[in-house]
Structure 1
Amino acid sequence: MLVFRLILIALLTGCAGPVKLSNVKETPELNWESDTFSSVNVPSVESIFYLSDENKQLFLDYYHAPENQEVQGHKRLSNFIALFLSGFSYKGNTYNADLASTEHAGNCLSLAILTKAYALLADLKIEYRRVNSAPVYAKEGGLITISSHVQTHVHAPKKQDIEKGHFYFSKIVIDYFPSGRGMLGDAVSFDDFISMYYQNLAAIELASKNYDKAYSLLAAAIERSPYNVETLNTLAVLYKKSGNVAKAESIYHYILNHTQGSVSALSNYVLLLKQQDRDNEARVYASRYSEIEDDNPYRWYNLANQAYGLQNYQQALDLFAKTSKMAPYLHESFFGQARAYFQLGDTSKAKLAMKKAVELAYTPNEEKLYSAKLHTLKAYEQP
């Protein structure tokens, strides 16, 4: 659930799904390993979903209670989660199932892990879907964390209509942070889901400069999902922070040349080139954003803000417009367009974009802010 960015945006997909390769079979292997880090023990996959006998029993007592037997299994699981979330502390920590159950706390990935642990006890099938929703930013150890999340889809046991010979399926979607402005993203495979857990833990160690532990966790993530682009992106950030810029650059080249790409990886690489005063190369790579397939409008919005901060106003405008096209309900992207238009000297278009931001404002405070900005723009146009 934590998405980590350096001054080079290092994006982890704790709750965000990875960008898939267009053709994994034809992709060459990446030499990502290094002997500069020491191997450190990391949690096993089994430990991620471990539940103590006491925590198992809490669920099983509810699930097998006589008064609940008329409720379908997947609904029983969903009902238990709903009860469990009463008083739950939505901390940013990524916990395994047992710790989330014991502490009654954790991020959305922790809740998805806990749901999986319960589903295993009840022999229920679950799947994961990424949800692109407004991220939450926090800064720690030089990294900016961006939180997004997944939904868990819990399937009921299939039923057969014997007379007609048809099978019927039903499922319940558990969304731990429901939002009317979220966009359903890609399905997340189980291996990618596991890699998210390791990525999140690695990001914490990376922020604390525990590079050996971060490397070991990322190695575990790659073992589960070798072509997870965001894991590789975070590994590049690790190499950059630990001083091996050449290795970081080789990973960025691999991502950009052998996958569908990553907004965060390309942004990181452009920043790396700028830091080395390789401005011509940076401009060439910055022109490749249009080649990337990424269905998360918030990544493009973040990139647009970055371009605006670098005074690349035309690029910022294009990226804000891309965000609006993907998610036309986002007032933030229209506000961004208004700012970019103003910097480019087009006050009329800035005013139109600001009007749209006012219409879409999600809270009274946002509407008040945008209305004040609009009033300023109108005054600015007057002779």
Structure 2
Amino acid sequence: MDFTRIILLLVAITSQSCVLHHAEQQLQASLEPPVTSMVLFQQPADLPELDQLFYLNDKQQQNFLNYFHSSAQATNPAEQRLYNYLQNKLMYFSYEGANYPAQVALDQFRGNCMTLALLTSALAKLVNIEVGYKVIYQEPLIDYKDNIFISSNHIRTYLYKAADEPKQGSLVLQRAALVIDYFPENTDLVGKNIRPTRFYAMLYNNLAADALLLGDSDSAFFLSQKALKQDPSYTPAVNMIALMYHRKNAFTEAMQWFDYGMQLQDNQITLLTNYRDLAAKMDNQQLLEKINQQIMSHDDDNPYAWLALAIDAERNKQFSHAKLYYKKLLEKAPYLHNANLALVRLYVQEQNFRAAQKLVEQAINYAYEPERLQLYNTKLAALKQHRKTIQQTH
């Protein structure tokens, strides 16, 4: 069993541009999800409502409130009290790649990062602590089950310090906050702030992914619909719905959802590649060329999205695609050891030893651990010797 701890950090959170955020909201508001037939799917009767996900029973609430208002915590600010409670109660919180409602998480001390964020939010609501969220881009955990490609994202939760009244004429650009998170990694990349409705959409879409892995495409479809009711511009939910139509061979409906997803502000590379698969299945060469051009020029906020796609392409023997994705990834994260080695392997496989040597020479600049540096130097020496041997034989 893996145990984890909650990380406490005092940080300054820089607010995003209000003008940009308002412009994005206006653009998203002008777009509406397509209205397509749902007769191919049977709606389950037991899909959870949002308040059920956040629900804590009376005993759980009272235990927390007793701790929060105890004399031992009296000198601490509210956000510190909540952090202390989580640290004391969940110091043996077991990380699992599973989604649980807040009540189950607090009973069983387990769940993924979304579960921890959900539980933190449920407790914060009881004592009026403002909560914020950020996407954290990490090297993804990748798995395959029943030919479904699975990768994980990460959410970090922020407990904001109660805001002081700003002085007249002053502008507050930063706010102090405490961070609730699993073990952070040195290669973590901090993404955008997430508004609450986006977080709620992510909760539902995670449940949709769970349902899909269990073979329940009906629940996956309607849970994704619930995600879009929280945030109509959440691309992964749009992608999930399009995939469900694709699986039903309802290509017209799938195309409508993919086309809608391509208009969204946070158009994700995963949606484009899934749309490409549909275009290939339909033998629509014009659409296929259009999507491939967009993939080539796409700049995803999450560099690790390219790693997931590269591994998937390599697994399916699409080596030219895999090389493209690894290159895209290394443009943003040249220090990624596994990606460098994978691309070197592909270059060697096609006997492009010059490119392989150049890549190893670049990777050495980011090899700070002695073992890794030795590995790269060994590969570099072997490549140089091999190229020398080839030159001598010619």
Report the Cα offset of residue 32 of structure 1: 4.0
Alignment partner, residue 329 of structure 2: 323
From 204, 208, 218, the equivalent of 2:214 is: 208
Contact 2:138 2:153 in 1 (8 A): yes
Cα-to-partner distance string for 1:260-299 (whole Å, 9 max, x where unaligned)? 5220011111122333444564343112114434211110
Greater alpha carbon shift after TM alignment, 48-57 vs 239-248? 239-248
Deviation of residue 25 (structure 1)? 3.5
Contact residue 197 and residue 230 of structure 2 kept, 8 A: yes
Find 2:179's aligned residue among 141, 162, 173. 173
The aligned counterpart of 2:201 is 195
Which residue of 2 is the match for residue 72 of structure 1?
77
1:123-173 alpha-carbon deviations (Å, 9 max, x no partner): 100110000011112233332321221111111112358899998942112
The answer for the alignment partner of 1:237 in structure 2 is 243
Q: Please report how far the alpha carbon of residue 29 of structure 1 lies from its aligned counterpart in structure 2 after TM superposition.
A: 4.1
Partners of 1:22 and 1:259 within 8 A in 2: no
**How many angstroms apart in 2 are the aligned matches of 1:344 and 1:231?**
38
**Residue 117 of structure 1 aligns to which amino acid in structure 2?**
A
Q: Partners of 2:317 and 2:154 in 1: how far apart?
A: 31
The secondary structure found in structure 1 opposite 2:94 is: coil
Paired AA for residue 243 in structure 2:
V
Q: In structure 2, how many angstroms separate the alpha carbons of the residues matched to 1:275 and 1:254? A: 20
1:272 partnered with 2:301: no
Residue 39 in 1 paired to residue 43 in 2? yes
* SS of residue matched to 1:139: strand
Q: 1:157 to 1:88 in 2, by over 3 A?
A: same
1:104 and 2:109 matched: yes
After superposition, give the CA deviation of every residue in 1:230-252 in whole Å (9 maximum; x if it has no partner).
10001111122233233222211
1:91-127 CA-partner distances (Å, limit 9, x unpaired): 1110111110001111110000000011111210011
5+ residue gaps in structure 2?
1-23, 390-394
SS at match of 1:171: strand
The amino acid that maps onto 1:196 is M
Aligned pairs for 1:59-208 within 5 A: 59-160=64-165, 169-208=175-214
Between the aligned partners of 1:372 and 1:315, the Cα distance in structure 2 is 28
Structure 1 residues 44 and 365, CA gap change in structure 2 (3 angstroms): farther
Greater shift after overlay, 252-261 or 227-236? Answer: 252-261
Separation in 2, partners of 1:310, 1:280: 23
Amino acid paired to 2:281: Q
Moved more, 28-37 or 227-236: 28-37
Return 5+ residue gaps in structure 1 as ranges: 1-19
In structure 2, what is the equivalent of residue 27 of structure 1? 31
Asked if the contact 1:129/1:185 (under 8 Å) is kept, the reply is yes
Cross-structure match for 2:9 = none
Contact in 2 for aligned 1:142/1:207 (Cα 8 Å):
no
Contact between 1:261 and 1:292, CA under 8 Å: does it hold in 2?
no
Give 1:285's aligned residue.
291
AA aligned opposite 2:288: A
Q: Is the 8 A contact 2:207 2:220 kept in 1?
A: yes
- CA deviation after TM superposition for structure 1 residue 372, in Å: 5.0
Asked whether the 8 Å contact 1:313–1:344 carries over to 2, the reply is no
Q: Using the alignment, how far apart are the partners of 1:163 and 1:193 within structure 2?
A: 33
1:9 alignment counterpart:
none
* Secondary structure of the structure 2 residue equivalent to 1:237: helix
Q: Which residue of 1 aligns with 2:392?
A: none
Q: 1:162 to 1:144 in 2, by over 3 A?
A: closer
Deviation at 1:360, TM superposition (A): 3.5
SS in structure 2 at match of 1:180:
coil
Query: Aligned equivalents of 1:21 and 1:275: distance in 2?
Result: 35
Match of 2:224, SS state, is: helix
1:337 CA drift (Å)? 3.7
Work out the CA distance in 2 between the residues paired with 1:275 and 1:365: 45
Residue 15 of structure 2 is matched in structure 1 by none
Please give the alpha-carbon distance, in whole angstroms, between the structure 1 residues aligned to 2:268 and 2:26: 13
Q: Is 83-92 or 276-285 further displaced after alignment? A: 276-285
One of 332, 336, 343 as aligned partner of 2:338: 332
Q: 1:322 to 1:293 in 2, by over 3 A?
A: closer
CA shift in 2, pair 1:364/1:121, >3 Å: farther
Deviations 1:357-380 (A, max 9, x none): 455458777666655544442332
Point out the more displaced range, 93-102 or 300-309. Answer: 300-309
- Normalising by structure 2, we get a TM-score of 0.82
> Which residue of structure 2 lines up, in the alignment, with residue 8 of structure 1?
none
Query: In structure 2, do the counterparts of structure 1 residues 277 and 372 end up closer, same or farther at CA, with 3 Å as the change threshold?
Result: farther
In 1, the alpha carbon distance for the partners of 2:92 and 2:369 equals 25
Letter in 1 for 2:104: L
- Give the fraction of aligned pairs with identical amino acids, expressed as a percent: 27
* Separation (CA, whole Å) in 2 of partners of 1:239 and 1:79: 46
Cα distance in structure 1, aligned partners of 2:369 and 2:279: 39
